[in-house]
Structure 1
Amino acid sequence: MFHQAYPMMFQPTAFIKFPQHPTIEENGCSLEVITFLIVRTLFPKYCDKVPDEKSLEAIRVAAWKRLMEHHRRQKLFLMPSYMALYYILAVFAEQSFDDTILGAPDATNLAVEITVKVFSVFYFIASKWHEDPHPEHITHVRFDFGDKSLMDRLQWHRRYILSMERLLLPILDYNISVMPAQWSTFLFFLGALVDEKLPQYRAPYAVAVKILRGSYEAIGTPVPSVPPEKSLGQLRRDVTKSRKIVKQEIPALIAAVCDGLQNPTGSFKFHLSMWL
């Protein structure tokens, strides 16, 4: 099994952030942390080339445009829990991926596949959030996309939601009463971690990251700068004390998110120690 073969190979920080309602509010969390780490780890070939850049951008633009046009009046695009699901559907509705072979060595396919899986995770967390009393919350909304055949074709993404539920709960010690304010320290820590450990991977030429960055930019704003009075070490200690993280479960989660995706290198080179 994947998690037995790689017991400590994945750092936990990229996924700890999910229990904050992926409101991705004005001061919300940063999806780009996850996307950079996933792409850098699994697809190093796509971090230094620019194949088919226009098609990646087209996917992002088409999905965002569809969202804005279809739901501007209802203001649903202001609700990230709704947008997480809608973005998945919009990407596949606006682009012709019927014949796409997911997992093929193509940057467009990689970006699409990672996007739909990552947003499925967002949808799961959002659907569990009971502190949002809004009548249009994703747990109360019926989606009418006007095309039943389209909806039938896209139901497959729900399997990711179910599998993520089983994996996320033990990893995150997830409690539905956790409020976003409790995660502010950890969000600062993620921002500091990227600045200190991954500055070379913020370059605009990371192609497979491009659509994922677009996804993030469509639903939120970056993590604020780390408070000057706190060092990365202090933030790390705050995070360690604030929540329980079951580190040994992390590889299984990443295996599920990346199930079926191509691994050009044939091996993983992350080790938990580089993040601690």
Structure 2
Amino acid sequence: MSDEPRILTERRDHVLLIGLNRPDKRNAADLALLQELAVAYGELERDPELRVGLVHAIGEHFTAGLDLVDIGPRLGPDGIDIVPEGGMHPWQVNGQQLSKPVVIAVQGTCLTLGIELILASDVAVAAESTRFGQIEVSRGILPFGGATLRFPRAVGWGNAMRWILTSELFGAAEAHRIGLVQEVVADGEQFDHAVRIAERIAAQAPLAVQATLANARRAVRDGDASAEAELQPALARLAASEDAAIGMRAFLTRTEAEFVGR
């Protein structure tokens, strides 16, 4: 196993860049990569100075999916544990939910767990030549990073089953058509474009961003009534925050708000 870190992280003000760093293997995920990715997500969740995560990849490809040579022998009757102490499950299929938004930039090949990372994120940007594939059924397994839950919900039942059940590859134009990715840009521009989106989100009031994200997720997970019941209490909490006062002053003085997260 190489001593090179599988995940590279960098802080840009309030944005945490999280880079998949196994380009010689098309960023195929071995156990080390999965665990380091979980640690990076844990850092994003815990640090109050971090407001947005941006997942990207080093090299030509986002990910070729699981490194089955490494992962296969580790699979037990209960699957595989990829979350070390202090980490957080990047695919959030263990009952935990990240409280902060994640933007993702993809290029080249984006297979299996790469699509599932998109589905577990909030905004996705793809290079126009990206090729996607949810190909688990061709390997005799099923998607276990959330595609069975989120893909139909995100793009519609028929659109999801068209690609999950055939294991065929599809392009960025189709990914955009069905709503898997939000924007398609010229090759090589996906990272910078995603950074601009992440920085724009990070410039908003962080408590308000997190409350908005939490309420939308509550509606998806628990139904509209549960989310509706939380709207007014959440509004009252936010209205009493320092950031709400900052936002109001910025509106009245026509200046740019600089939020503090309190």
Q: Return the TM-score normalized by structure 1.
A: 0.26
Task: Name which one, 1 or 2, has greater alpha-carbon Rg.
Answer: 2
| Structure with greater helix share of residues | 1
Higher relative contact order (CA 8 A, sep 6+): 1
TM-score, with normalisation over the residues of structure 2?
0.26
